[in-house]
Structure 1
Amino acid sequence: MRSRRDWAVLAGWVLALVVLRAARLTEHDPYWQARDGSERLAGTPLSRPDSWSWADPSGVFRPTSPAWNTAVALGHESLGLPGIALVGALGMLAYFAVAVLVARRLSARPLPTLVATALVALLALPMVSPRATIVVEALLLATLALGHALTTAALSRTASTYAAVALSGTVLGWAGAWLHVSWTVLALGLACALPLLALLAGVPRWRLALAATAGLGLAVGSMLGPYRLSVWQLLLDISSASGGQIIEWLSPLTGGLRARWLPVAALCLALAGACALRLWLHCPGSPGSRERARWALEVVLVATSLAAAVAGLVAIRFLGVAALTLLPVLAAELSTATVRWRDVPQRSEAFRHRLTAGYWRPIVTGVLVLLAPLAVITAHSPGRPEPEADLVGDLPRDCRLFATPDAAGAVLLLRPDVKVWVDMRTEVHGGRAYADTRRRLGDLTDVSLPPGTTCAMLPLGTEQVSVEGSSEPWHQRTPLGSMAVWLPGSGA
């Protein structure tokens, strides 16, 4: 009974975290994603010439997360801006639910799982947000859990079993490809990881063949997504346009980012490395046993996390993947370690008591009771982009906007009549457009707008604005929050 209450406390902590992260969107991609989903529900083709930007030339818009965009659009059409927050919250809850279920499969206990969850949330905070990639991470963990089930579940050695596993893998690969294009890369890795998991578990050859069949279905299904084989060109276009321009595509070794991201990279590498060393030194059970199968699942999870952490030295976005993938293993290892430390007879009784659930249960429960109302209070007007929602009313109808790419994303949904210069769709605009935008916003004492701009939404502190090649004065409207609208004319 106490264990059930502890899992309920963990669920409460996760729910509070999800509410806080979903109610205030730190990035504005979900807004333009909602608009894309709504347009496609109305019959607009998936891949189409961009019509949201007035920059010339504008590129071809190929949504990277079609199914997610549709889900966000349905939330927005049903509940307005809170619907976007709700869909985002469900996406995050899906990840944490799958991660906890995998942790329990690895024999993790609730309070060590809470510690692991808090640590991972801190390391991967930008990814713990309403975005398709958090659901992709849930699919990754669910796929590996499926691979583990193929090594332990009571299955018949029949053709129908192989057919069902192949179909399940194909459907999973297809669904992931519609969820986000990055799944295509992960699916190929998982296609190799599933038979590797079975091989490490020491199961009979027919189970190994079953895992290989699931992996093959996964790889085939991932190629049946919206872009088929051309998805690889889209991935290259995204990488090329984002590299050197978008923070999550920069290295943590980049100047100005080291203080924030190098400790995260070091900790991800250290945690994954420590877990890998522990698994190397301790291989339990005999081949084919449940203990060996759990160990094999941990090995594959740690290997995936370690590979992502190494890739994170090139692009920050992979550090989040490393931390999120490692959560079930951290929970399991912390559960084992606390029991091991508590059983050392040389340790004092007081120290051993502090490693029991009975010591921490009232503490974490009490803190949750105090913090839960704060989460609810903070989550007023969920999904509302601030300050953009208050500023869009100052924009003239059909004006051509110059703004930060993130702010432009919110405007695309809130004011569909307004065309933007660039937004966060990197593959549409290309790296040069982002470099040009950053150059123009580099000196707020005198911001030079691109020719053709008729309205601007600029950071607070902007002193003077003019269109390149024009002497017409611009005036600032009443600033709100961290931004203000600028319009041509003296404003008298």
Structure 2
Amino acid sequence: MGDTTKATSGRWRSSQQQNALHGRFSESVPDQKRQRCNGFLDPVWIKQRPWLLAWLATLPLALLRAGTLAETDTFWQIRTGLLTIQQGSIPSTDPFSWTVHGQPWTLNSWGFNVFVALAYRFASLPGAALACAALVAAVTGLVLLQARQLGASAIVAGALIFLASPLLIAWFSARPQLIDYIAVLILVLLLHRLLDHPRAWNLAAIGLLTVVWVNLHAGALLGVAIIAAVATLVLARRSTRVRGVWCIAALFTATAASCLNPYGPGLLAQTAQVQQDSEGIVVEWQHINLANPSQIIMLGLGIGALVVAVRRRNLVHVGALTVGVIASVDAIRILPILTLLALPVLADFASHPALRRYIYSRRVVLGPGAAVAVVVASVMALLSLGHLGRPDPSRFSTTVISSIPTGCRVFNSYDLGGFILLERPDVTVSLDSRNDLYGPERIRKDQQIIEGQGDLDQELTGAGCVVVPPDDGLAQSLHRSPDWQETAADGTSALFVRH
């Protein structure tokens, strides 16, 4: 595309250009040395399919989180998806609690709820866990695809994913944010393609992506922000201003497509309400903590990739990373998206021929080390398959929950609500993690009660059962109360039933 392509896409190259400018790792080695390679760097099967092998090496990372379900949201989302399938429509009012029963309820991830519910119907919690592990595998595959399009080495890109995995695995839980990770990476690919090849079908692809995204999760609004940032950058450069018209068209297309959901434009306001009701309650909605090393590293990776993208005039990644940096400072839940966007850019930067020659010269040490890392991750993933889809035993007690009397109104702690909804659909809860439904005041008030503060008799009016951690203040008070009897307990939860 001449200067225009260089200005808009930087080092976004065709496969022929990649081979010429970067080459595969082994191609930087003289033929005589290549023939002497053995075992790690240049067997025929790696030379022909390095990217597939890099993706296969990351698959254990997708399975590690599938062994244990630790997010309370996962359970009520499965229950909601099952209800949506059963009644053939999206619930419009709360059916699960006795405290806000019948109040209007907007679902910002109804499509994801149905997705995990279908997997649950097929194979219970292991099925839901595997379905979400497949989404994680798609995430790593898209990171590698972006790195390949930028011209990076497959080995370098795969190694960076492995090195960043300790930062990312905690975010790869079974929840609708997995959809955001996938959709943002696809959006960046489509924006590059739109600028390199302005065609109506590339514009339509962005619109289709947004429609699917917004119905799976309302995080599609982040995509609109990314397109707006890229459009601003493209219009700001004289050499790319003509392409800016296509970016503006993409922005209008994505904005209109984001309204194609069961709630229309009202979903935009509801998304803002979720953030407002979650600040100060949910950790991932908090501002970045400069004292947290992992958060600082992830932000540093994003800023570093942004600097590289600016130097290489890769306007699409500059726009996406700029939005990611700003949004991550405001809410740390964007940090994994920022990191995933940064990895392909950093992989390309680290694939400099001089660095690849250095890695090749250290193949005797690095080869076995990389193999050991993959083997260890694979063993850990295989071990997790032994308890695939298990609710985190340190947070959720199946024994105590199963002991709740039929039809009881349960007063429960915040983390337990979603799990009770799934395991015991015959009872109603006082609270779960749907912050936009309950509101921050009720959540904070219930937390004070669980800590044993206030008039407990009055606050527990209407509840026939209480399920809380055994060491909390409320549990200690109920032990002394003649009106309540402990009927089940373990190290995670205690069940009290009103006499």
Shorter-chain TM-score tier: 0.7 to 0.9
Who is 2:350 aligned against?
334
Note the alpha carbon deviations across 1:149-205, whole angstroms, 9 max, x for none. 23345x7xxxxx42x334322212211110111212422432552674698695693
Q: What is the CA–CA distance in structure 2 between the aligned matches of 1:204 and 1:306, rounded to whole Å?
A: 20
SS in 1 for 2:253: helix
1:265–1:402 distance in 2 versus 1, CA, 3 Å: same
TM-score of the pair, normalised by structure 2: 0.81
Who is 2:293 aligned against?
263
1:184–1:232 distance in 2 versus 1, CA, 3 Å: same
**Deviation of residue 15 (structure 1)?**
1.4
Who is 1:427 aligned against?
436
SS in 1 for 2:386: coil
Q: What is the CA–CA distance in structure 2 between the aligned matches of 1:358 and 1:227, rounded to whole Å?
A: 58
**Deviation of residue 270 (structure 1)?**
2.5
Instruction: Read off the aligned partner of 2:221 and give its amino acid letter.
Output: T
Q: What is the CA–CA distance in structure 2 between the aligned matches of 1:197 and 1:124, rounded to whole Å?
A: 31
Who is 1:106 aligned against?
150
**Deviation of residue 141 (structure 1)?**
1.3
State whether residues 177 and 226 of structure 1, in contact with CA within 8 Å, keep that contact through their aligned partners in structure 2.
no
Who is 1:438 aligned against?
447
Instruction: Read off the aligned partner of 1:245 and give its amino acid letter.
Output: I
1:397–1:197 distance in 2 versus 1, CA, 3 Å: farther
Who is 1:315 aligned against?
331
Give the length in aligned residue pairs. 450
**Deviation of residue 278 (structure 1)?**
3.5
Alignment of 1:151-230 (within 5 A): 151-153=195-197, 161-162=199-200, 164-193=201-230, 196=233, 202=239, 205=242, 208-230=244-266
1:180–1:329 distance in 2 versus 1, CA, 3 Å: same
**Deviation of residue 355 (structure 1)?**
6.6
State whether residues 165 and 213 of structure 1, in contact with CA within 8 Å, keep that contact through their aligned partners in structure 2.
no
Verify: 1:233 aligned to 2:249, yes or no: no
Instruction: Read off the aligned partner of 2:227 and give its amino acid letter.
Output: L
**Deviation of residue 142 (structure 1)?**
0.8
Seq. identity, %:
24
Instruction: Read off the aligned partner of 1:121 and give its amino acid letter.
Output: S
Q: What is the CA–CA distance in structure 2 between the aligned matches of 1:355 and 1:221, rounded to whole Å?
A: 51
Who is 2:374 aligned against?
368
Q: What is the CA–CA distance in structure 2 between the aligned matches of 1:303 and 1:199, rounded to whole Å?
A: 12
Verify: 1:250 aligned to 2:253, yes or no: no
Q: What is the CA–CA distance in structure 1 between the aligned matches of 2:240 and 2:364, rounded to whole Å?
A: 39
Verify: 1:38 aligned to 2:77, yes or no: no
1:481–1:357 distance in 2 versus 1, CA, 3 Å: farther
1:136–1:56 distance in 2 versus 1, CA, 3 Å: closer
State whether residues 148 and 197 of structure 1, in contact with CA within 8 Å, keep that contact through their aligned partners in structure 2.
no
Instruction: Give unmatched runs, 5+ long, in structure 1.
Output: 156-160, 284-294, 344-351
Verify: 1:29 aligned to 2:73, yes or no: yes
Q: What is the CA–CA distance in structure 2 between the aligned matches of 1:173 and 1:279, rounded to whole Å?
A: 25
**Deviation of residue 415 (structure 1)?**
0.9
Instruction: Give unmatched runs, 5+ long, in structure 2.
Output: 1-43
Instruction: Read off the aligned partner of 2:300 and give its amino acid letter.
Output: A
Q: What is the CA–CA distance in structure 2 between the aligned matches of 1:467 and 1:39, rounded to whole Å?
A: 36
Q: What is the CA–CA distance in structure 1 between the aligned matches of 2:232 and 2:319, rounded to whole Å?
A: 14
**Deviation of residue 232 (structure 1)?**
1.9
Which is helix-richer, 1 or 2? 2
Q: More deviation in 93-102 or 306-315? A: 306-315
Instruction: Read off the aligned partner of 1:461 and give its amino acid letter.
Output: D
State whether residues 147 and 198 of structure 1, in contact with CA within 8 Å, keep that contact through their aligned partners in structure 2.
no
**Deviation of residue 47 (structure 1)?**
4.7
Verify: 1:451 aligned to 2:461, yes or no: yes
Q: What is the CA–CA distance in structure 2 between the aligned matches of 1:171 and 1:93, rounded to whole Å?
A: 22
Across the aligned residues of Structure 1 and Structure 2, the Cα RMSD in angstroms comes to 3.1
Verify: 1:488 aligned to 2:492, yes or no: no
State whether residues 12 and 368 of structure 1, in contact with CA within 8 Å, keep that contact through their aligned partners in structure 2.
no
**Deviation of residue 53 (structure 1)?**
0.7
**Deviation of residue 211 (structure 1)?**
4.3
Q: What is the CA–CA distance in structure 2 between the aligned matches of 1:204 and 1:310, rounded to whole Å?
A: 25
Q: What is the CA–CA distance in structure 2 between the aligned matches of 1:371 and 1:120, rounded to whole Å?
A: 13
- Among residues 94, 109, 114, which one is paired with 1:70 in the alignment? 114
Who is 1:384 aligned against?
390
